[in-house]
A = this chain, B = another copy of it.
Amino acid sequence: MVAQKKQVRDPEKTKARILAAAKVEFARIGLGGARVDVIAARAKVQKRMMYHYFGNKEALFSHVVESVYADFRNAEAALEIDRLEPVAALKTLVTFTWNYYLDNPELITLVNSENLHKARHIEKSKRLAVLNNAFVERMRALLERGVAQGIFRKGLDEVQILISLSGSGFHYLTNQYTGEIVYGRKLMTKAARDARLAFNIDTMLRLVCTTKYLAQLEGTP
Which residues in A have some Cβ–Cβ distance to B below 8 Å? 29-34, 109, 111-119, 122-123, 128-129, 132-133, 135-136, 157, 159-160, 162-164, 166-168, 170-172, 174-185, 195-196, 199, 203, 206-207, 211-212, 214-215, 218
* Known interface pairs A32-B30, A112-B116, A184-B136; A168-B164 also in contact (CB < 8 Å): yes
Interface pair A115/B178, CB less than 8 Å apart: yes
Interface pair B33/A199, CB less than 8 Å apart: no
Whole-angstrom distance from the CB of A174 to the nearest CB of chain B?
A: 6
Whole-angstrom distance from the CB of A168 to the nearest CB of chain B?
A: 6
Interface pair A167/B177, CB less than 8 Å apart: no
Copies of this chain in the oligomer: 2
Q: How far is the CA of A203 from the CA of B160 in the complex (A)?
A: 10
Interface pair B211/A132, CB less than 8 Å apart: no
Whole-angstrom distance from the CB of A206 to the nearest CB of chain B?
A: 5
Q: How far is the CA of A26 from the CA of B171 in the complex (A)?
A: 21
Q: How far is the CA of A135 from the CA of B132 in the complex (A)?
A: 38
Interface pair B111/A116, CB less than 8 Å apart: no
Whole-angstrom distance from the CB of A117 to the nearest CB of chain B?
A: 8
Which single member of B113, B181, B203 contacts A128 (CB below 8 Å)? B181
Known interface pairs A122-B178, A163-B171; 12 further A-B residue pairs with C-beta atoms within 8 A, sorted by A's residue number: A32-B32, A33-B116, A111-B175, A115-B176, A115-B177, A132-B181, A132-B183, A135-B182, A163-B183, A167-B172, A211-B215, A214-B214
Interface pair A166/B171, CB less than 8 Å apart: yes
* Known interface pairs A168-B167, A176-B115, A178-B114; A184-B133 also in contact (CB < 8 Å): yes
